[in-house]
Structure formats: C-alpha cells, structure tokens
C-alpha cells in the first residue's frame, strides 16, 4: 500500500523520527510549503519538532550552537534562499571551527514562472537568484546538497545527520525550492518505514548524540600577557 504526502511534510516527519527536537527558523517565501505542512500536522495532533521564529539568520545559527553545547543534540536552522544563507556565514564559521553539528536548511528560488503552486510569484524571486548557492557555505560545511527528487528526502536527512555527527563533527547544508516541497512524495507501508528507520538509527547512532560526549576534547584558550594587557 502507498500513501501520498508533500515533500515538506515528509521532511518534518523525517526530522521528528530522527530525534530532532528544535528548529530555529528565519523563513521566507520559499518555505511556504513547510509552513502549510507544519500547520496541518499540528492541527491533526501529529508530533513535530519545536519551531522557533528568530529575527536574524546569524542569531538562529548561534542559538543552534548554544542548544548543542547545553543538550548535546544537533538542531536544524531554516533560512531563506541565498540571502538568508549569506547571513549565516559568520556564525557558520564558528560552528565549523568549533565542530558543532547543525543541519542548515535553505530555500531556493522556484524553477518555473507559472503553472505550478510553487512557481515564481513576486519580483524578489528573480532578483535574488544566484548561480551557485552552495558556494556560499561550501568552505565551512562538511557536506552540502540540493534536494531535487521527490522521493529522496529520507535518504538526504539520514545522510546529513550521519555526516554532521560523525567525527570530527560539524555543520551540513541542504537546500530545496518550494516547487519540490509542494510535490507529492510516495512511500511504502509503515513496516518498511520502520525497518528503514531502525537501520538509520543504527548508522546515525541517535541514542549516542542525545548525550554529551565525555571523551570529547576540550579546547583551552590561553591569552598571553601582551593580549591581556592590551
């Protein structure tokens, strides 16, 4: 038996199943499918991660770093297209240097101008278009990927988390446009999903990243006399 749901809903479900509890968001027009899916899931009583609206992308990523340092758990940061991605870079450098695992998710401009629910609809969809959005973060992430196929969301979430929490830990980056997120994703029956999740949990070590690593190296910062005097 097959069921159909949007890619945006599947993404939220994937985060929930894999133990992601916090999402720090500064969203834009490209995340309308996620907002629609989240509202529908909350109305139905489905379990979802906690979404926090944050007024700036740099702050959102800083909050994810603080959350990880306190809880030992990675968080998701949701930002708007290329401009939102660019606004995270300073904090992203800190996460990269400090080996903080975080899943940074950004939208992309819609592909089509008409004919689809997610097609371009406002002037900014042309003005903010970039040739290589991933280049903005590629030097400060362990992995970056664009979601292009409707059926690959579970695999991409799994892969992102595996890479983020593998030593040395660090941030990873995913992007997708709203046409893809509004698309329907087909999945097989629940037993298949449960089996897939069991394998994913074993590979990712979800039980492990819910605890602080006792053997994690602690970096000590020493200031010389000249710096202290200055």
Report the pLDDT averaged over residues 131-154.
Answer: 86
Residue 106 token pair = 């950004």
Domain interval for residue 76: 3-229
Query: What's the pLDDT score for residue 47?
Result: 96
pLDDT above 90: residue 181: no
pTM value is: 0.76
Q: Please, what is the average pLDDT of the chain?
A: 78
**Considering its fold, how many domains does the chain have in total?**
1
* pLDDT tens digits, 15-66: 999 999 999 999 877 788 889 999 999 999 999 999 999 999 999 999 999 9
Residue whose entry in the numeric block shows the structure tokens 């590629």 = 138
Query: Got the DSSP string for 114-159?
Result: SSSTTS--STHHHHT--S-GGGGTGGG-S-EEE--SGGGHHHHHHH
C-alpha torsion angle, residues 27, 158, 153, 95 (rounded to 10): 20
Task: Report which of residues 177 and 84 the model is more confident about.
Answer: 84
pLDDT above 80: residue 151: no
Task: Report which of residues 170 and 225 the model is more confident about.
Answer: 170
pLDDT above 80: residue 68: yes
CA 32, 37, 40: angle at the middle one, nearest 5? 125
User: Which CATH number fits the domain that encloses residue 127?
Assistant: 3.40.50.970
């Amino acid at each position: 038996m097959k069921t159909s749901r949007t890619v945006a809903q599947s993404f939220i479900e994937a985060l929930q199943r894999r133990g992601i509890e916090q999402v720090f968001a500064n969203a834009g027009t490209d995340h309308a499918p996620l907002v629609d899916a989240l509202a529908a899931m909350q109305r139905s009583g489905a379990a979802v991660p906690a979404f926090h609206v944050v007024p700036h992308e740099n702050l959102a990523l800083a909050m994810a770093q603080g959350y990880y340092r306190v809880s030992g758990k990675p968080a998701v940061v949701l930002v708007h297209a290329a401009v939102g991605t660019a606004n995270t870079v300073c904090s992203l450098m800190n996460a990269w240097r400090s080996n903080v695992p975080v899943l940074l998710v950004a939208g992309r401009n819609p592909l089509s101008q008409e004919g689809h629910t997610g097609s371009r609809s406002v002037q900014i969809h042309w003005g903010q278009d970039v040739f290589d959005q991933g280049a903005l973060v590629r030097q400060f992430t362990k992995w970056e990927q664009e979601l292009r196929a409707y059926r690959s969301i579970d695999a991409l979430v799994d892969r992102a988390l595996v890479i983020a929490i593998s030593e040395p830990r660090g941030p990873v980056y995913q992007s997708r446009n709203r046409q893809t997120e509004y698309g329907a994703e087909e999945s097989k029956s629940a037993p298949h999903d449960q089996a897939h999740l069991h394998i994913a949990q074993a590979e990712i070590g979800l039980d492990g990243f819910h605890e602080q690593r006792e053997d994690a190296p602690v970096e000590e910062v020493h200031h010389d006399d000249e710096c202290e005097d200055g």
